[in-house]
Each structure stands twice: as C-alpha cells, then as structure tokens.
Amino acid sequence: MKPETLSFFEKVYDVAKQIPYGRVTNYGAIAKYLGAGKSARIVGYAMNGSHGKDIPTHRVVNRKGLLTGKHHFEGTNLMQQLLESEGVEVIENQIQNLEAVYWDPVKELP
C-alpha cells in the first residue's frame, strides 16, 4: 500500500482509530505524526468528515485538553459523557489530569 495514495484524511482516520480506550490525544500530535506538524486544523476538519465512521472523535481534543469539538456532538455534553464513561475526568469541557490520560501517537505508535 502506497501511503501516497492515502489522503491526509485517511491517515488521520487511521491514527484516530488507534487511540486506546480511556486515553485522549490532540490534533497537533496527530498532525505531527503524519509529518505535517502545522496541519492541526486539517485534523480537526477531518474529524468533521468522520461522521458515520468508527472513529472515536471524542478522544481527540485540542492541546489544552479543551473539548473544542463538543459542539459537533449531539446535545451539549455528549462528548464529555463519553469521556467520563471511559474514566476521563472532564470539568467545564476541559479534561482534568490531562497528562495521565494523554496519548501521543508519535511516542506510542511505531
């Protein structure tokens, strides 16, 4: 499989699917893993197109641990509830103890 044939979105989806249960990551980390450290916004945009796929987009937040994309979920706190159900403490749309649940694809993936 030639990675060149995979568009940026495909790669983003591939990484996002590999986020372990109870962990979270940020857009910049995924972008950096893909070799485009400055394309964090594209990662977020890709999440917008992940609707209907098996992508746990609720595990992807901005680098501050803030649930910037929660507005794109149904209701007002669905994203937060999904994270809390996985053992992630979330207060005011912000992940608490982020370092404990943070998952960096650059370090965790080969």
Partner DNA sequence: TTTCTGACTCGAA
Partner DNA sequence: CTTCGAGCCAGAA
Does position 53 bind DNA by CB under 7 A? no
Does position 80 bind DNA by CB under 7 A? no
The footprint of DNA on residues 3-32 (CB under 7 A) is: 7-9, 26-28
Among 14, 22, 68, 86, binds DNA (CB under 7 A): 68
How many CB atoms are closer than 10 A to CB 75? 9
Q: Which DSSP category does 74 fall into? A: S
Element (H, E) at 100: helix 98-101
Q: Are 70 and 79 in contact (CB under 8 A)?
A: yes
d(CA 48, CA 85): 22
User: In 3-state terms, what secondary structure has residue 58?
Assistant: helix
Among 73, 94, 98, 102, binds DNA (CB under 7 A): 73
Least distance CB 71 / DNA (angstroms): 7
Q: Which residues bind DNA (CB under 7 A)?
A: 7-9, 26-28, 36-45, 47-51, 57-58, 60, 62-64, 68-73, 79
